[in-house]
Amino acid sequence: MAKDFEGSPFDIRAAVFDLDGLLVNTEELYQEVGTDLLRRRGKTFDAELLDAMMGRPQHKALSIMIEWHGLDDTVETLADETKAIFQTLLSTRLALMPGAKELIEHIRQLDISLGVATSSGPEFAHDVLSRVGLIHHFHFILTSA
């Protein structure tokens, strides 16, 4: 059902949210993973590298990291290590961003359909939304794969 807001020329039917950094703190966790991964190799994870990697599929982001620091690791090796570090952080540090739950619940009360769009993969998006208890609010999840 569309919602007609008084005084607004818009007929709002849906709202779509980004996942990482807007609904959940995963951008912060990605930075911690990158920092840990590179610290183990005597390298640093600076803002420039983060900017170059952010929003890209994992394979591409890790390729950038390898080239940036001249690492001997393969993308597959770094991906496995990244997954292990990230799973630990997800289980201990994953959190909703301030106000996210309240905003989602408010919009749902207005009978507006909700969706999530993310450059992450479908399994990850579903896992994260399930862990924070929001998955049932969304009518669709648009992912990179």
Residues 5-60 have pLDDT tens digits of: 666 788 889 999 999 999 999 989 999 999 999 999 999 999 999 999 987 888 99
Tell whether 62 and 17 lie within a shared domain. no
Tell whether 13 and 72 lie within a shared domain. no
| Strands lying side by side in the sheet with 140-142 | 14-18, 113-117, 140-142
Confidence check: pLDDT of 2 > 90: no
Residue 39: both structure tokens together: 């610290």
Catalytic residue among 18, 36, 73, 127: 18
Tell whether 63 and 89 lie within a shared domain. yes
Contact in structure between 6 and 103 (CB atoms under 8 Å): no
- Catalytic residue check, 20: yes
Q: Which residue has the tokens 């952010």?
A: 54
Catalytic residue among 4, 20, 72, 111: 20
Kindly report the average pLDDT of the chain as a whole number.
92
Contact in structure between 53 and 64 (CB atoms under 8 Å): yes
What CATH number is associated with residue 51? 1.10.150.240
Tell whether 31 and 87 lie within a shared domain. yes
Contact in structure between 143 and 58 (CB atoms under 8 Å): no
